[in-house]
Chain A
Amino acid sequence: MKSLSLAFQVYLAFIKKSFQRRMQYRVANLVGLTTNFFFLLVHIFVYTAFYAARTVPQPLSLNEIITYFVLCQVSFMLMPLWGTRSEVTSAIKDGSVALQLTKPVDFQAYWFADECGRACYYLLMRGFPTFLISILFFEVTIPQQPTVLVAFTVSMMLAIFMSNAITITIFSSGFWTLDTTGIPGMSYSIITLFSGMLVPIALWPEWLAHIARWLPFEGLIDIPFSIYLGKITGIEVWIAIGKQMGWNLFFIGLGRFLLTRGFSRLVIQGG
């Protein structure tokens, strides 16, 4: 029990460190916020124009779409492959990962903690301000039932965890390719598409939406936001969250496997 609480403290310290490192870039954060708003604004213009011509009711109302994209901007930086990477991730490329491997901690957990710190930072410094300002300017739906909020919070946390686990898995491939643009680049487009980050899955044609349901990436964006909007209710909430948990375990396992194999053939780049 004592060793468990000690381990907890160690990783908590890593999370804190990772958070604090980012606090120094205040101007960058302000610029990032502006960028968030710009893209949000263009999305809203585009969807407003699309909706203006339609008389047939859509699966999501315009207000719900706006809310969806506000949430997207809130969590953009939390998604895998978006924004600047955590220190450990860049360390694989420049070779300083060798130094980090000497730390007497579980490497994957350490990396995970590092990513969590990054996520906390972006949630607090980028996500919340984006959300608060959006409420002032746009008609953002806010769920009325507390159960929805609870389910959303749980689902969102699972989404962030999964994002970290995916990041670790993808960048572990760097041990083989020694190149950190190719595979991440290709994964990026698949994740961007199937998470529902660009167009909500509810608006997709049936066949494509069906594919998305069998892939893990809807758990990053579409599942938590659909719960928020009340599009997933009752027993389906449990199924959706269960899916997220399952995929989380899958990616943590895969990442672990790749890391163990990767270390056994580790080539350190640079000096």
Chain B
Amino acid sequence: MSASRLVKEFSKGLWREIPPFRLVLGLCPALAVTTTAENGLGMGISATFVLVCSNGLISLLRKVIPNEVRVACYIVIIATFVVCVEMITKAYFFELSESLGLFIPLIVVNCIILGRAEAFAKKNGVLLSRADGLGMGLGFTLALTGLGAIREFFGAGTLGLVFGEQVFFDQPFAFLQQAPGAFVALGLLLGLMNLVGGSRGR
């Protein structure tokens, strides 16, 4: 297992296949919780945790799990870690758990996690799978935090994650805080990503 392969699998999630832009998966949380950068970060970290753990465990058990019931098994494994995250956030980050609300349990059905299990952990070793999970997770976190920051800064005039209570605008562009704003912002950001990174490969 060469280190370069490890780095490659890790780094692809950060830009080349960054979800939810390049890998259009996990849109629901990306849209729902990104009203602030802080929420985005929290969601991202939670998902990363689940992704790393589940990828590792699934990879470890990949030879034991029968092929026919693999999806059910994956879901149970993922659900177990999601319950852990649920409890941890409730215990230590109560405010975050309140604002993320429904979307923490919904990490179970986040397509990224099941998708990585199917596409990667099923076929690769533990270390590689963890690297892949970590990379994808961090990419997801980055994307969510960025999207949250944009929506928060322009939509509410604040950036709580960095500047605390400071308010930048009196009359922010509140549309971005609303549900439609989430769709439009994500759509345009996706276009921007493609513009910067060249047109998307088919």
Report if A and B associate in a common complex: no
List chain A positions with a Cβ less than 8 A from chain B. none
Residue positions of B touching A, CB distance < 8 A: none
